Chain A
Amino acid sequence: AQSVTQPDIHITVSEGASLELRCNYSYGATPYLFWYVQSPGQGLQLLLKYFSGDTLVQGIKGFEAEFKRSQSSFNLRKPSVHWSDAAEYFCAVGSYNQGGKLIFGQGTELSVKP
């Protein structure tokens, strides 16, 4: 079955500390992988995406993610978190064969302490 798992429902980090949000997927086809951020009551903003090539991808706002096929993972990282990064983060997987339909993980809520 196709699925996306974000094991951490809620993470709290101190401002300036590093961040890693985990994402594991189970998908039959060659996946496209995405990370989105959602602020309260808002739609989703794309942080970064992977579909081929270099497995370390850079995104907006200083985020990066690494695709590890052997581990079926696509973890999101940021070296130094800012208070404005507090939000909900969603990992998603899709494919060309599925017409771009996305399966979302459960989300990880990030809180940032001063």
Chain B
Amino acid sequence: GAVVSQHPSWVICKSGTSVKIECRSLDFQATTMFWYRQFPKQSLMLMATSNEGSKATYEQGVEKDKFLINHASLTLSTLTVTSAHPEDSSFYICSARVWTGNSYEQYFGPGTRLTVT
């Protein structure tokens, strides 16, 4: 149980275009999902918290108009990178938060590698 998928796993897009990444919880519902960005050989940086039915909460320094997050259902959150530029190339990872009864845990998707040319 507690599987999170991401689609696509790998995408190349041209500079100036937009790309959408999907994050799905396959066998459970998640009112809260998180989006992370990871540069090569670096740690995960939290970009935003995605809440079902409400606006996402962005971390300081993350452009909300560039990284659009939509959490329209309890099993799907999407991240759209708008007007992508080469510096947006990165590994994007989502996670779904669950309450285990005595703590929060996150289940992570396999990640999406974005290359902007």
Q: Is the CB of A99 within 8 A of B93?
A: no
Q: Give how many B residues have a beta carbon under 8 Å from the other chain's beta carbons.
A: 25
Q: Chain A residues with Cβ under 8 A from B34's Cβ?
A: 101-102
Within 8 A of B (CB), among A23-54: 32, 34, 36, 41-46, 49, 51-52
For A43, A45, A104, A109, which residue has the most chain B Cβ atoms within 10 angstroms?
A: A43
How many Å lie between the Cα of A42 and that of B6 in the bound state? 11
Q: Which residues of B contact A (CB under 8 A)?
A: 4, 6, 32, 34, 41-44, 46, 49, 91, 93, 95, 97, 102-111, 113
- Asked if B43 contacts A51 (CB within 8 A), the reply is no
B110 touching A42, Cβ below 8 Å: yes
- Residue of B4, B104, B105, B111 near A99 (CB, 8 A) is B104
**Chain A positions within 8 Å of B111 at CB level:** 41-43
Write out, one digit per residue, whether chain A residues 92-114 have a CB within 8 A of any chain B CB (1) or not (0): 00101001111111110100000
Q: How far is the CA of A36 from the CA of B105 in the complex (A)?
A: 12
Q: How far is the CB of A44 from chain B (nearest CB, A)?
A: 4
In this complex, the member of A41, A45, A101 whose beta carbon has the largest number of chain B beta carbons within 10 angstroms is A101
Q: A51 CA to B107 CA in the complex, in Å?
A: 17
Q: A32-B103, A51-B102, A99-B49 are in contact. Are A107 and B110 (CB under 8 A)?
A: no
